[in-house]
């Protein structure tokens, strides 16, 4: 067992599962989506991106690209959340929450692709 690869896979799968936990629930219901879970998803996604920076293979470049997409989506979701609560003063409306959850759904899709690429890379490495 390679500890470095285990930690790498752990962080990628953790990013996916935390993002899924935030995404789960009714799209426009603010009580189903926790701000701390969005924050955790963003932090773990950023950590996963940093861990992918050293990869020089083609699959490594794809892994980095999917992670960057997830980061952008989650950062935009956090900005929309903060903008709605602290700048506009309108509070959390169903429209705003559906925008935030939709952005996290895009990040979730990028994280799923990242995990699939990791599984493919791992399977090819076994041969």
| Cβ atoms within 10 Å of 74's Cβ, excluding its own | 29
What is the C-alpha to C-alpha distance for residues 13 and 90, in angstroms, rounded to an integer? 35
pLDDT tens digit sequence for 90-100: 889 999 999 99
**pLDDT value at position 126?**
57
**pLDDT value at position 90?**
84
DSSP 3-state of 24 = coil
> What share of the chain has pLDDT > 90, as a percent?
80
What is the C-alpha to C-alpha distance for residues 91 and 117, in angstroms, rounded to an integer? 39
**pLDDT value at position 2?**
86
DSSP states along 19-31: HHHHH-S-TT-GG
What is the C-alpha to C-alpha distance for residues 89 and 86, in angstroms, rounded to an integer? 6
> In sequence order, which ranges of 24-57 are alpha helices (DSSP H)?
35-52
Q: Quick check: pTM over 0.95?
A: no
Taking all residues of the chain, what is their mean pLDDT, rounded to a whole number? Answer: 93
What is the C-alpha to C-alpha distance for residues 61 and 57, in angstroms, rounded to an integer? 6
For the chain, the domain total comes to 1
Are 8 and 74 within 8 A, CB to CB? no
pLDDT confidence band for 116 (50 / 70 / 90): very high
Mean pLDDT across 44-66: 91
pLDDT tens digit sequence for 4-30: 889 999 999 999 999 999 999 999 999
Q: Burial level of 121, CB count in 10 A (0-12/13-18/19+)? A: middle
pLDDT confidence band for 55 (50 / 70 / 90): confident
Could you list the residue range(s) of the whole structural domain that residue 81 is in?
3-125
């Amino acid at each position: 067992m390679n500890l470095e690869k285990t930690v790498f896979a752990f962080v990628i799968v953790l990013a996916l599962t935390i993002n899924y936990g935030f995404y789960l629930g009714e799209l426009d219901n603010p009580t189903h989506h926790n701000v701390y879970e969005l924050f955790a998803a963003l932090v773990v996604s950023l950590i996963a991106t940093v861990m992918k920076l050293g990869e020089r293979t083609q699959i490594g470049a794809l892994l980095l690209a999917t992670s960057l997409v997830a980061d952008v989506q989650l950062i935009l979701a956090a900005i929309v959340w903060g903008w709605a609560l602290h700048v506009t003063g309108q509070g959390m409306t169903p429209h705003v929450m559906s925008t935030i959850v939709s952005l996290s759904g895009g990040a979730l899709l990028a994280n799923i692709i990242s995990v699939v690429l990791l599984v493919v890379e791992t399977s090819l490495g076994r041969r």
